[in-house]
Amino acid sequence: MNMAGIERVRADNFKQFDCVTDFSDHHYHARSKSKEKKNGSINNKNTVKRIMKEWEILEKSLPESIYVRVYEGRIDLLRAAVIGARKTPYHNGIFFFDLKFPPDYPNSPPKVCYRSFGLRLNPNLYATGYVCLSLLNTWGGIGTERWCPEKSTILQLLLSLQGLVLNEKPYFNEPGIKPAWSWESYNANVFVLSCKTMLFLCRNPPKNFEGLIAEHFRGNAGDILRACVEYLEGRVRVGFFNGDGAGADAPVSSKKKKIKVSRKFKGAVAELYPKLYQAFNGVGASLIGLPEKINVSESPAGGIIGKLKRFWKKITA
């Protein structure tokens, strides 16, 4: 995947890397059965030194689309927010991962839990939060595909989650022979689940990331809502909306080239759209010119999308 295609988050006041104090909603803190020591269960000096090195790498080298928080009182915990890349069904979504360093780190890879809200929007990310990935030794692999204590880093892990897991055709992440055409229906389902995740995040943002979530959706609400309409009207294949009404690998210029859209997908998007509109309005997004809801029975080519195109053409002229 071309990582240059990842949407830049408009969150100038939100640091990409920071050390905070409140870890009360972190997955691995909540699961602790006994009172943790100040640094969790980390007592080995070499492990502490390596974790500090990881912090340094993250602070200096994080791409603009990944945000990390570490904890002053629990150096064994870390939380990361990964922004979905353009031209994928995850575009403009925010995906959270809670990490825990084991006592013998880096000899063993970190534990990772995906904040799923009970949704499975990728073959590698289970509804339980389980993350299946060779780099975590939770899936098969050889050589550098698996965790290497001398070379593997948290930055490498986060980039793998963003580029290899949250990719343009996640259907093929699952091993085995499959009908090639099925990736499109899988992408459609993923987009719906990604939109549901957005709603969950707006209603219940993870601690220390409230500002990022609000600012991200304030800045990207228009793109998200327009993508809903483009996909619903069959003008762009799901997962290939690029922000200006065109879709890579799926140009649409006439009625004859319309992409077939399932009734199930149309119904799901039409139901989600007004909820997204309200959620984005709640964080202060500018929604002028965008419809508050979509009536599927009244959304033929040239209807809603025509109004949106005229509006965006007018304000960008």
> Does the active-site annotation cover 132?
yes
Q: Which two tokens stand for residue 172?
A: 């093929």
Q: What's the rounded Cα separation, in Å, for the pair 202 and 40?
A: 30
Report the C-alpha gap between 232 and 308 in whole angstroms: 14
143: left (phi over 0), alpha (psi -120 to 50) or beta: left
Strand partners, 85: 6
* Structure tokens, 242: 């690029």
Amino acid letter, 192: V
Q: d(Cα 199, Cα 212) in Å, to the nearest integer?
A: 14
DSSP letters for 151-193? T--HHHHHHHIIIIIS-S-GGGGS-S---GGGHHHHHHHHHHH
Within 13 Å and on the Cβ side, how many CA atoms surround 26?
28
Residue 254 has phi, psi (to 5 degrees) of: -150, 165
Distance CA 40, CA 111 (A): 14
One of 132, 148, 202, 228 is an active-site residue; which one?
132
- Annotated catalytic residues are 132
